Amino acid sequence: MKRINLMPALLLVIFGLAGCGKGEQPAGQSVDLIPKEVKAVTVTHILSGEIRGFTVEGTDLDGLRTWVDNLSLGSRVTFEVGEKPGENEEGGEIYDFDLGKDYMPLSYRDFGKDRCYFTVGDEWYSVLVPAAPFGESAEDIDSTDRMVIECSANNPADNAPDDLLGIQLSAADVTPTGLTLICDQSGGQATGELFTGSRYWLEKKINGGWASVEMVQDNIGWDDMALTIKMNGSTTWDIDWNWIYGVLPAGSYRIGKEIFDFRETGDYDTYAYYAEFEITD
């Protein structure tokens, strides 16, 4: 990503770091950091090892600009090599903001009491009053009006080409509370054995994009069972989502599954495949 190198003095002007509290930053702060010509921002949210991505645009992007403008920032912070928060520790919550290749990346990083930071490119600043950009958690985001991308920690690609592993997913016997998921495998370029787990997710097509379906059950405890995918054959799974998503209304949906190309312990690739389906009245 191309990074624009701002001088520290300019950053002081942009942020008003000398004692600025909420609402005291100079007018136009958010315009400088997220210019009006930016129409969409890709957000990557990292929490407890889980990576979740989504795109913010329209009124939600205006809200993000307001959040940046209202951040209460302290002075610039420097760290020794290898000692930046998050480099040698687990935990914390991170929001990375990608404005596009011509703009400087932004990031909000919260590692607990007195360890909250906002970064502009490679510059780190302390956050005096922590305030997550989308409420207490990214799960608070209204998923009905923005596209959500599920990512894998092993392979950040949100979808694999249908012929990479020779897999095609399709849905049968669809009802508002479940379906039969069919996994056909033939050919492809798998480098190991193919597996999947019990986890799946549902998305609904809205305004041409895919949005996560809201869950009715929190803290889903997916088991760690490895389900073998038959090579050069078909494998089926019966999915009952009533306890997770409830009864789905009419609409266009897709179900996502992670597929693992497993070579040996610690050496595998993860991809996401989808099967689209319709629910009618």
Which tokens is 135 given? 């409420």
pLDDT > 90 in the chain, percent: 23
pTM over 0.75: no
Mean pLDDT in residue range 223-246? 91
Tens-digit pLDDT profile for residues 48-102: 666 777 788 888 888 888 888 888 888 888 888 878 887 766 678 889 898 888 8
Which residues have CB under 8 Å from 226's CB, separation 6+?
195, 196, 197, 260
For residues 166-188, give the mean pLDDT. Answer: 94
Pick the residue with more confidence: 206 or 254? 254
Would you state the pLDDT for residue 176?
96
SS (H, E, C) 222-255: CCCCCEECCCCEEEEEEEECHHHHCCCCCEEEEE
Over range 7-34, report the average pLDDT: 40
- Identify whether the C-beta of residue 171 lies closer than 8 Å to the C-beta of residue 276: yes
Chain centre distance of CA 271? 15
Residue 147 has pLDDT above 60, yes or no: no
CATH of domain 8-140: 3.30.1490
Provide the pLDDT for residue 12: 36
Most confident of 27-41, 43-57, 169-183: 169-183
Residue 215 is given by DSSP the state: P
Q: What is the pLDDT of residue 159?
A: 44
Q: Which of 3-12, 123-132, 135-144 has the lowest mean pLDDT?
A: 3-12
Report the SS3 class of residue 19. coil
Measure Cα distances from 238 to 198, 227, 277 in Å: 11, 13, 15
Structure tokens at 148: 């959500």
DSSP string, 52-72: EEEEEEHHHHHHHHHHHHH--
Q: Where are the chain's structural domains?
A: 8-140, 154-279
Domain 154-279: state its class: mainly beta
The predicted pLDDT at position 22 comes to 33
139: amino acid identity, one letter: E
Q: Read off the pLDDT of each residue in 227-237 and give the average, rounded to a whole number.
A: 94
| 17 or 66, higher pLDDT | 66
Percent of the chain beyond pLDDT 70? Answer: 75
Lowest-pLDDT range of 14-18, 108-112, 221-225? 14-18
Rg of the chain's alpha carbons, rounded to an integer?
A: 22
Category of 279 on φ-ψ map: left (φ > 0), alpha (ψ -120 to 50) or beta: beta
pLDDT-based confidence at residue 225 (cuts at 50, 70, 90): confident
pLDDT tens-digit series, residues 263-279: 887 788 888 889 999 99
